[in-house]
Each structure stands twice: as structure tokens, then as C-alpha cells.
Amino acid sequence: MTLTTRVTELLGSEHPILLAPMDIVASGKLARAVSQSGGLGLLGGGYGNKDWLRREFAAAGNARIGCGFITWSLAKRPELLDLALEHQPVAIMLSFGDPTPFAGKVKRAGSKLICQVQSFRQAKEAAEAGADVIVAQGTEAGGHGSNRTTLTLVPEIADALPEVPVVAAGGIADGRGLAAAVMLGAEGVLVGTRFYASQEAQGHEIAKRRILQADGDSTLRSIVFDITRRNVWPAPYTGRVLRNSHSTRWYGRETELMQHLDEEAARYSEAGEAGNFDTAAVIAGEAVGLIHDLPPAAEIVERMVREAEVLLGRRLGL
């Protein structure tokens, strides 16, 4: 069987697998590799850096890719959307904020609008804004998110908004996750942590090795690393990272951390540059417990699709 869905048709991809636009980690090289293997690579536009965006779009070459932004940050620098649209991306993904001010421009440029949401209310708002695809992100995901789980959020949105295809995100790292997402009503998956642990990801090798060594219990959702890097997000968003000495020291003592912020922020910055992940955060989700190697991105896509097709074929008696 072949996993053809409304998502693959809308995005022109062979497989319903999207690269999560992880800030910096989802580079042009990684996005190109995912797209060339049949999925859709999304650059990690994150908070927005013009030089990085130009460089990574160039690195992607002529591959069909998209780009993702943190919506509340993009609102401060809307010119970054114009820069991305100049490259005619397949899609623009907006997460963590109201997509309405940007929706019209994205669609007029000929790109598909993907909106990532963390609640049922946000899903309805995204549909009203004209989202072509809604990503339902569960709290299992690495990086920033909220408190709903993938298992219940995906079918709730899929049932209520049948006109908009849903992509599942959070805790998905193999074909079992892809098959499960399809059974929940999703028509694709957005995958982050699994692609972080790939050869093409623009991440520190020590961070990747930490992902391989971790299990699902090794992650923590908090605001400690945001406070320390002086980048506190609006409510209700917190960030999931691997537990380390820094988070263990300050989790539950956030007010005290703020009283020592100057010294801790300096220490955190130095640690990031030095690859010291006892202090700096490795941003990863609960799926770390399912990840045990560092293959090329194409191999990850191929494995996920092959395993999901087998599992779904059994379910359908094929």
C-alpha cells in the first residue's frame, strides 16, 4: 500500500512526513534531504535571522522545501516572511501565535499555510484564518508546546474540522507513530527529535549523542532554559529539553534563578558555545527513548514509511 493523503496531495510530496522546523537544527541540508527522500523539509526559521535564512535556502538548492516561523516573533520582524516567500517555498508553517496577519500574504504568494496548534480552540482559529493544514502538537514534543497530548488532541481536531487535513506532532519517531497517527485521523506527521538525531541535522554532535543515550523519562518541560537565556515565552508555552545539571538545579526555583540571572545567563551562553550540555539545553522530546542511531535523514523516512505501511496493511487486511 501507499500512504497517499490530502497532505501529500496538497504539498506535492510522496510521503506524509514533514520535518519539524526546529530553530537552527532544521537547516537547508536537512530540509533538502527530507524533501528529496519524499517528505517535506521545513527550514527552522525560528525567531528569524536574515543571514541564516538566505544561507540555508541556498543550501537547500532547488529542493522543494518550506519554512517555519515562531509567529509571535515574526510579528516583530514581518520582513522575514517576505524574505522567505521570495524563495517560493512550498509552505509556510506558523506556530505559537495568531496566524491571521500573515495568512493572506502566504496564500497570495502561492504557498500553503500550515498552522501548528496546541489546543482545540487554536485549531478552530487556524481554520478560520485559512490554514491549509493544521498540525496538532502534543505535549510530548521537544521544544516549545503546551499541555494537551497527541493521543487526544489529534482525533478531537480531525473530528471537528474534517475540511482541514490534520498532521500529528509530538512523540513520533518511527513507523508505529506514523501508523498510530493515521489511525487517530491524522493525514501526516511532523517529526522533530528523530530528525535531530540524523547525519544532516545542524546540531552539535555531543547533543545528538545525548539524545541517543536518553530515555523518555530524561526529558523535562519547564521555563528554566528560557529564563536563563533571557527569552521567556508568553503563556501557556513551556519548553521540553533533556534534563541536565542546570535544569535539575533550578527547576522549581525559577524565582531564585532570576535573582542570579546575570551570572547564570553568562554561564549558559558560554556552555552553548563550548558544547557543554550539562548546562546548555538539548531541546528534544519524549521520543528520545525510541531513538538509538544517527542515520541519514533519507533512511529515517524510508524506515518510517515501510514500517507504517506494513502495520496499516495488516490492520486493513492487505
* Domains of the chain, residue spans: 6-202+292-315, 205-286
Is 87 annotated as catalytic?
no
Question: What are the contacts of 277-281 at 24+ separation with CB within 8 A?
Answer: 277/204, 277/206, 277/207, 277/210, 277/242, 277/244, 278/244, 278/245, 278/246, 279/244, 279/245, 279/246, 280/244, 280/246, 281/225, 281/239, 281/241, 281/242, 281/244, 281/246, 281/247
- Fold category of 6-202+292-315 in CATH: TIM Barrel (3.20.20)
- Residue of 76, 75, 120, 114 lying closest to 95 (CA atoms): 114
pLDDT digits (tens, 9 = 90+) for 262-271: 999 999 999 9
- Catalytic residue (one of 15, 87, 144, 260): 144
CA 93 to chain centre: 10
Q: How many CA atoms lie within 13 A of 157 on its CB side?
A: 35
- Global pTM reads 0.95
Q: How far apart are CA 235 and CA 215, in angstroms?
A: 27
pLDDT digits (tens, 9 = 90+) for 248-260: 999 999 999 999 9
Query: Do the beta carbons of residue 291 and residue 212 sit within 8 Å?
Result: yes
Spans of the chain below 70 pLDDT:
1, 315-318
Angle at CA 201, nearest 5°, toward 180 and 81? 90
pLDDT at 48: 84
